[in-house]
Amino acid sequence: MSRRPARSLVPLIRGGLHRRSLVSIPVHPDAVPSTSFTGPPHSPAAPPPPPDPAVRSRLSWSPTSPPLPQITGSHLRAAVSSLATSLLTLLGPDPDPEPTLRAHSFPSLLAISPLASLELLALLRRRPQLGLAVFAFRRGLAPSPTLDEFSLAISLASRAWDPAAASALFADATSAHAPDQALYNALMAAYMHNGLMESCLETFRAMQRDRRCGPPNVDSYNILIALFGRSLIVDTWRPCSDRSMLLGIRAPLVPIMLSSLGT
C-alpha cells in the first residue's frame, strides 16, 4: 500500500465538503439503488430522451422500447432473480455462466431492458468473480453496456481484489461513454478498498479536471474520508505490530487488522 501521511488528506476533504453540495439526478424507480444516484422519490415519469453521447443515459431508457410499465418491470426482476439463484448454485472458483445465462434467456431479457443486466450484477455481488464472468458474456450482446453497468462491474472487480480489472473496465467505459461521477467513484472505491492510496487520489483529481462529468459529489468525499481513516489506522497499528514482533509479544489481532485492510 502506498504510504503518505494521513493528515495530508484533511485539507482536500475539508475544502470539498465546504465547496460542494449534492446535485440531484432523477432516476427511474426501477433502477438499482445506489448512493451515487440520488433524486426525488416520487418525481413524475418523463418521456424517454434520445441517446446523447455527451450525457449519461437514464437507466429507464432503451434504444428499442419506451420506459417499462410497472408490471413488466416486476416480471423482469422476477426472471432475473430466478437466473441469479441458478447462477449462484454453480460450483467452483471460476464457473462458466454462459449455459445458465442462455437457459434462462438472458439475451432476451436484456433486449427488453438494460435493467436486466443491472439487476443481475447487483444480485451477484457476493460472488464477484462470477459477476465479472457474467459481465464479460453480457458485453458480447446488444445493446452495448451502459455506464451504470460498467460502474457495477468495477465494484465487482473491487470485491474480487482485482484493481487491475477495475482500471481496465474504467478505460473501456470511458472509450465508449462520457464518464460520470458514479463511474469515477466506483474506481476510487476500488483503489481505496485495495489500499492503493495514490491511485485513489489521482482518480479524484482526474474527476476534478474532467469537464465531461460533474464535480466530485458527496460519495466522492465519503471515499476520501474512508481513505483517510484507513491510512490513520494503518499508520497507528503498524508500529505497534512491528514493536510487538521485536519484543516477542504475541498480538494476533494487530496483524489480522492490518491484513483485513489489505496491507
Residue 242 lies in a domain: yes
pLDDT classification of 68: cutoffs 50, 70, 90: low
Cell numbers that stand for 95 in this block: 464457473
Question: Does 149 have pLDDT greater than 50?
Answer: yes
User: What Å distances lie between residue 132 and 24, 53, 74, 102, CA to CA?
Assistant: 30, 25, 25, 17
Residue 36 lies in a domain: no
Residue 193 lies in a domain: yes
pLDDT number for residue 87: 98
* Nearby residues of 239 by Cβ (< 8 Å), 6 or more positions away: none
Please tell me the distance from the alpha carbon of residue 38 to that of residue 18, in angstroms, as a whole number. 20
pLDDT number for residue 152: 98
Residue 67 lies in a domain: no
Question: Does 163 have pLDDT greater than 70?
Answer: yes
Residue 208 lies in a domain: yes
Residue 172 lies in a domain: yes
Angle at 228 between CA 39 and CA 212, to 5 degrees: 45
Question: Does 34 have pLDDT greater than 80?
Answer: no
pLDDT digits 0-9 by tens, 3-13: 555 555 555 65
Residue 248 lies in domain? 6-17+79-260
Percent with pLDDT over 90 in the chain: 56
Residue 1 lies in a domain: no
pLDDT digits 0-9 by tens, 103-139: 999 999 999 998 999 999 999 999 999 999 999 999 9
Domain count for the chain, please give it.
1
Q: Which CATH number does the domain housing residue 213 bear?
A: 1.25.40.10
The whole-chain average pLDDT of the chain stands at 77
Question: Does 93 have pLDDT greater than 90?
Answer: no
Residue 22 lies in a domain: no
- Determine if the pTM surpasses 0.75: no
pLDDT digits 0-9 by tens, 186-238: 999 999 999 999 999 999 999 999 999 989 999 999 999 999 888 777 655 55
